[in-house]
Amino acid sequence: MALSPIHPGEATADLCDRLGAQARVCQLPLNSYGGLRALAAPIACVQSFEDAGPLRALLQTPGQGRLLVVDGGGSRRVALLGERMARLGLANGWRGAIIDGSVRDVAALAQLDFAVLALGAVPQRAAGTGQGGAQAGIALGGLDVAGGDWALLDADGLVFVR
């Protein structure tokens, strides 16, 4: 794993001030649902539209302290992540998930030491058919992000750094 370009304890605002245009701010209107509200971590990417299978497959692998970034196509019809999948990821060393889509079990997610950012919440779970999968890179909120990039999130927002 590459060394972090983010200083220990650094806030997103300070990172943006320090790096300028190299600090790429996600413009999606994401809400925080997890119990972990601030985090700096390397990312892994997955693309999955209304299908939780690819997320589950990745969360079953060793997370090594990474943050899963999901291109869910912005769907708010079904939840791609809930309590059980968050617990699975946590047990395998993942630090959290950023989802361009929806989650469920928000009261339970808030109790976990797991970062969760998503567009919204909906009680209907997604299918698990396995369409989609791990990607080297995805588009998220007007940004191209790739596995190995670093993410910093806090109450002010979400920033990616290469």
Task: Write down the pLDDT at residue 136.
Answer: 77
Question: What are the binding residues?
Answer: 82-85, 104-105
Q: Could you tell me which residues come within 8 angstroms of residue 14 by beta carbon, excluding any fewer than 6 positions away?
A: 7
Task: Write down the pLDDT at residue 1.
Answer: 57
Question: What are the binding residues for substrate?
Answer: 82-85, 104
pLDDT for 97-127, tens place per residue?
A: 999 999 999 999 999 999 999 999 999 999 8
Question: What are the binding residues for Mg(2+)?
Answer: 105
Q: Are 118 and 103 in contact (CB under 8 A)?
A: yes
Residues shown for the chain: 162
Classify 50 in phi/psi space as left (phi over 0), alpha (psi -120 to 50) or beta. Answer: left
User: What value does the mean pLDDT take over residues 23-45?
Assistant: 97
Q: What is the CA radius of gyration of the chain?
A: 14
Residue 134 has pLDDT above 70, yes or no: no
- Whole-prediction pTM: 0.94
Q: Which domains does the chain have, with CATH numbers?
A: 19-161 (3.50.30.40)
Task: Write down the pLDDT at residue 111.
Answer: 99
User: What value does the mean pLDDT take over residues 120-137?
Assistant: 82
Backbone angles phi, psi at 24, to 5 degrees: -100, 115
